[in-house]
Chain A
């Protein structure tokens, strides 16, 4: 039967993981390969390895999902970014802070100096702040011709009314023929953060296009007939075409995939996911099967944005965390021997006392072929207690409320966790925990989300809610969901202060299974 398998790939900073799942979403095989400078080579190698390990016929793979930190790295390293034209529709308002204010100089230089502040925008109550001036838009286009690879269009209160952004995007397409990013489709209220995210999105369009080309070629060369998908930061997938339009949404998919993968491997839908690596422990929150998103402004490469990111707490405790005896007592980290643990750890014949050594010494963990190192009893007990307190504290900080929660433990450093922790209802250590990221990438749900301000009759908000739900459903379909399976999973309303009382912000989210 065609298309019964799916392949998931996670391109991380160190490793590229690949996993093949069967139609019941059970893991058939998982592999790890080093990430390569040209990410396509590492992806191709991981695909070859997982095909070989699984014995699955390439022709039977129906879906291929890629999660990648490529776009994040492009921003952080200011590498491979496109030149971006910026059309802000907001004059005569917003002139006190022009576009790109507060951006680091090197990032500004990478995208070029092509910002225009033009007439436009709406008021919070839906009135037109200023009509757009089409001649001025065409004139700005003329000045950017040949100088930009993509254009960001950002209107004041566009999340309330997208019509001006739509018209300006049409004109830009006519005049310049380059891809256009519109702010209302990228972020929520907060002009500067939304503008920053939209500009980054535009700058990443060619970055992701190149990455996608490598991925698609790798699939084709191996005779894999799969539809390619990209993981996004809220734990759902985007079809290739959608990802090419919203590359910025791939940022943050790494931690998200780990959380989703852990959820799948354990079967839990509401839990904390504790990913213990060599250097840090990353804790995410799983709510109704999806990662909880951060409520705070997120900085990427030194600029503030407001797009959706998983809420992850990172603390300096991992398998390689260095334990010291000092005059003030026993200290835990925050530094680590990291990937050198198998050489430097006491139990491995090295000379550094690490968290892994403590776990072995106090009998909290066993590793085949290793003897528990000799650690003075008082030091072992103090360090073990301190490690336990760090984990309990961090878990407590991320819990949605005071009730005990199930905790899913993944990551290579997981052995340093005690089997019982305060505030934890159940500690789950799933099989295949090392492949959680790639499994998360392969899981097949797609979502559509909308956040918009509506003018409503306070006595009847159903029409607005229905409209938001319909829009979210349409976006889920666009992202590749099977229309028959799309469900609206959340509709939230938030009143807008200082308006005349009839403005309401509505967020809606719809999720469906991948179309076959």
Chain B
């Protein structure tokens, strides 16, 4: 994945582009960034643009706070956050750790949690780090690059709209997830959370750099402008996006069958596609657990987690979530190579196919594409 080129400040005008790109990186899950984008735009309007700091610009004196929302999407769109939760959470971690925050960052760039750190940064007058700890969206709290490098969640903070603050020191990511879930239910199914708050040296080591800029580039292309500012027709956008991301256009098809069930906080299911256009005559199966995790073309592995699988509307390029997939939808399935941090033994153990119960071996999506001769955009880009 290439890193993003970013402006030094995020303004109101940048937010819709980042939100759209974040929905693509959400790979079908991660929550709708719409409410978060309204919060971020409003707070930037009231408090001014947010400085963007690159991961490699962080110094050892920095104290970086990943902040986001946890809980059910159905709660976050109804009982919208209290503005006070953002500062309360920042102040709570500062008090608990005894260190002043110097920057905030997204823990997860995919979906709605791309927006909350920008809103918090605007309100607190802090910069936001152009990077995150997933480079996508994942459903569980330990699926972060800090964990891959051996760092635990550290001091965690959960704050609600009443001003309740729960500060804990879970022994590992699994306990963090368990405690956070229990507290979140008592807080009414949603809360603002901080975990993995570390100094600049740890963030430099662990964070995936450039992911907010990446989200913005994706959003800009899907809204019809390429990296050089050239206008893109509707039908050029998906290919332009693949060229920019070194992504593989796996399959063009329409949804022919859907199975879906809600189980705990998870939407599990599968979609069967039949090919259209150049893919006519082939079939494709997508498996999802909140996020799209596994794609098979005519029964043969095409891409699997931790590589990113995104489903886009074939006509407009707009991302489609797992929940809004429906029969007859014309879609393009693309796969974006995940960051190298996930392509390690610990990365694959944490978020590879086996963890999600899929009986396939992970193979880099670009290798599969090359082997099968799928229309990767590498040649076009070269």
Contacts and interface: CB of A to CB of B under 8 A. Distances in A.
A61 interface: no
Interface of A: 90, 92-98, 101-102, 121, 123-125, 127, 129, 156-157, 189-192, 295-296, 304, 396-402, 494-500
Q: Which of A192, A295, A494 has the most CB of B within 10 A?
A: A192
Interface in B278-293: none
Secondary structure dominating the interface of A: loop
B162 to A, nearest CB: 6
B247 to A, nearest CB: 25
B75 to A, nearest CB: 5
Pick from A102, A124, A191 the residue with the most CB of B within 10 Å: A124
B305 interface: no
B7 interface: no
Contacts, number: 119
B183 to A, nearest CB: 12
Interface string B64-86: 00000001111101111111111
B169 interface: no
A397 B329 contact: yes
Interface of B: 34-35, 38-39, 41-43, 71-75, 77-86, 119, 161-163, 184-185, 188-190, 254, 256-257, 262, 264-267, 324, 326-330
A156 B72 contact: no
Contact of B189 (A121, A123, A295, A401): A123
B82 A93 contact: yes
Contacts of B74: 124, 189, 496-498
Contacts of B83: 95-96
B80 A93 contact: yes
A192 B254 contact: no
A495 B262 contact: yes
Given A101-B38, A402-B256, A500 B79 contact: no
25 contacts: A92-B162, A93-B82, A94-B80, A95-B81, A95-B82, A95-B83, A95-B84, A96-B83, A96-B86, A97-B80, A97-B81, A123-B189, A124-B78, A125-B188, A157-B78, A192-B77, A396-B328, A397-B330, A398-B328, A400-B327, A495-B262, A496-B74, A497-B73, A497-B264, A497-B267
> 3 closest A-B pairs (Cβ-Cβ)?
A498-B72, A93-B161, A123-B188
A156 B324 CA distance: 24
Given A124-B188, A189-B74, A500-B185, A102 B38 contact: yes
A101 B77 CA distance: 14
A191 B77 contact: yes
Contacts of B184: 498
A96 B74 CA distance: 17
B80 to A, nearest CB: 4
Given A189-B74, A295-B324, A497-B262, A94 B185 contact: no
